[in-house]
Structure 1
């Protein structure tokens, strides 16, 4: 039996849930399709809302979107708080530290890049920073503070969004908004023409969802959906990362009050303190194809974290997780409608390829998708078009 909805969202990670929540708040009926909601990159993510400290060379085009999305977070989570639903948001700042002289120079170069883009980074004396965070180690070479970089717990936020969708007027009961199945193919107004309007999603279980808008927000899985417009190339690659969750014994609490991001012999490492007395330690970045936790990655994280915070050696290892993040050639998302035959394919929106920025960009992605559903767009989003790596489609759209 087919289901009907205004919007079908494929993928129940943070991005997909945020898009579904935004659409539901706009009064649209929503169905989310995912066999294991919240179990992918969202489950592993540390949840740093860090547009400034996450700024990388050759990714400056992303800064406007990441800053805008970070600014949207308080507004985005306000309805959850009003309903008594936890979001895991914490307005704690971020300390950026370096271990040796080379790390100090690398962070100084990065600070110049940040300043060129109008982002203030406050240098701190080492005595001052240890006054704020007494557990920091004695070997640090430099420190700075970024007050506008905050954090959210993605697991709590994902659970909160699911609860909000289940309780919304468009949720149709506790599980009415969610189909625990795998999306197999897009359905089209003309089944023989993959560039015709998308009218729904066919599921692996044999049923279908008919919808006026279909949003593919299922990360790496988006490229494998059947019925994509002919010529559309989605160059998504899996970038695996190892991440640890450590329990802080009561005598050491609070281990940290702010997120600490550091460079140790040129390798990045971060520690994100949670309210429940745990610390998230991450994250490696590898493209070796292995989906399992890497012993070398775990060793590297623990080794480097102890340079920044020696007491890490006294923490309890609670969890080691590895997940794949969907990367693109330019590390920017595939976000928007797809052009085919010179016009956009009606009923189809893509929201994938967020790499390490999925949690940070969720509110902006949700807002952009809502505006697109309402027939509104912005030329500023064109740099993130999902068909930008599809030369044949681009040529047709320019004809």
Structure 2
């Protein structure tokens, strides 16, 4: 006899897998639908956990959610690493924000003043202080700031770990695409499909193209960089994310396009800005150039919560460039909504109702939590729920 799942998650990126893991750990029967888990925006993401450096003018509520999720990351990373038995590439050295020219520094300074006005931890530094922290920075760099609480994680390792943890907790991955939500049979359906959420739900989620490069240090050595660098170089914005395995991620363009072609112009701009800030990168191997599609929304904030007029359907999408940093808080809030049927107040500014034109009370059908079922193999789960 077939058993109906409690929760179906559509989308196996970090957000979808984290929700599946949390729900399965609460004892719910969970299936995850995705034809190619981890192949979306997270595959080309840099993995910056930057509630401070990503705080922009007019996005007060989003900044609050970023800060809340970043505060959950240390515990989330430790729990996930233990559950999956793997290293996530989680690092806590902090982030340096730098300006190459006087104009670049002035532009960055306006943003620092705004961030400091919000009480966020960012401290301006003189050029000599910057180079004490990062000797590889170019002598031309005019100044910068340090955001000690802005960390990083490797998104590809994160996805692999989340998949392992979710499956070990009892979730089952179904390797197929979902064309219509009517084809999904579960008590609660969570749409965490990134850009694909638009076709499934009608929500205003659009693709925002980003091109990213991966460089590799000569001889397989660790990069000289210690900090994540977010820089302004002759008007070009760029970030540099060093990994301990010798990789440096360089990104990223922001383009209102829906293709995933890598262009020579984007590679040129990113490399020029990166080498202007850290000249030694000119000697690194260009190991990969890739492009992905971020799920953007009209107000740049995620869409989280019950979909008005669609009983049993929850949205967890539209994270734009913040999907990785918002993974812990999204998973916690959506899981609580699934289990209790009551929305946490943190969800209020981000509900689908702000775009649908239909009021909703934020509630969802509660799914009774069960104790985790030990020692059921994946094949047994597949036979039960497929």
The TM-score, its normalising length taken from structure 1, stands at 0.86
For residues 182 and 3 of structure 1, the distance between their equivalents in structure 2, rounded to whole angstroms, comes to: 21
Partner of 1:166: 167
Alignment partner of 2:175 out of 180, 183, 187:
180
- Equivalences for 1:233-244 in 2 at 5 Å? 233-244=202-213
Partner of 1:23: 23
Partner of 1:215: 190
Within the alignment, does 1:128 sit opposite 2:129 as a pair? yes
Partner of 2:100: 99
Q: Which stretches in structure 2 are left out of the alignment for 5+ residues?
A: 363-386
8 A contact 1:247–1:279 mirrored in 2: yes
SS at match of 2:160: helix
Partner of 1:34: 34
For residues 159 and 14 of structure 2, the distance between their equivalents in structure 1, rounded to whole angstroms, comes to: 6
For residues 164 and 82 of structure 1, the distance between their equivalents in structure 2, rounded to whole angstroms, comes to: 9
SS at match of 1:57: coil
1:60 to partner: Cα distance: 2.1
Alignment partner of 2:336 out of 364, 371, 393:
371
For residues 198 and 145 of structure 2, the distance between their equivalents in structure 1, rounded to whole angstroms, comes to: 40
Within the alignment, does 1:385 sit opposite 2:351 as a pair? yes
8 A contact 2:223–2:244 mirrored in 1: no
For residues 288 and 218 of structure 1, the distance between their equivalents in structure 2, rounded to whole angstroms, comes to: 18
8 A contact 1:129–1:143 mirrored in 2: yes
The TM-score, its normalising length taken from structure 2, stands at 0.89
Alignment partner of 1:359 out of 320, 324, 348:
324
SS at match of 1:118: coil
Which structure carries more strand by proportion? Answer: 1
Q: Structure 1, residues 110-141: CA drift from partner, whole Å, max 9, x if none?
A: 11110111012112221122122111101111
SS at match of 1:377: coil
Count of matched residue pairs:
360
Within the alignment, does 1:67 sit opposite 2:67 as a pair? yes
For residues 296 and 82 of structure 2, the distance between their equivalents in structure 1, rounded to whole angstroms, comes to: 35
For residues 25 and 89 of structure 2, the distance between their equivalents in structure 1, rounded to whole angstroms, comes to: 20
From the superposition, tell whether residues 396 and 50 of structure 1 become closer, same or farther in structure 2 (CA, over 3 Å).
closer
For residues 35 and 366 of structure 1, the distance between their equivalents in structure 2, rounded to whole angstroms, comes to: 21
SS at match of 1:239: strand
8 A contact 1:100–1:141 mirrored in 2: yes
For residues 244 and 3 of structure 1, the distance between their equivalents in structure 2, rounded to whole angstroms, comes to: 45
8 A contact 1:261–1:269 mirrored in 2: yes
Q: Structure 1, residues 333-392: CA drift from partner, whole Å, max 9, x if none?
A: 11111223xxxx43111011100000010111101101111222234422111131122x
8 A contact 2:55–2:115 mirrored in 1: yes
Partner of 1:108: 109
8 A contact 1:238–1:325 mirrored in 2: yes
SS at match of 1:284: coil
Partner of 2:138: 137
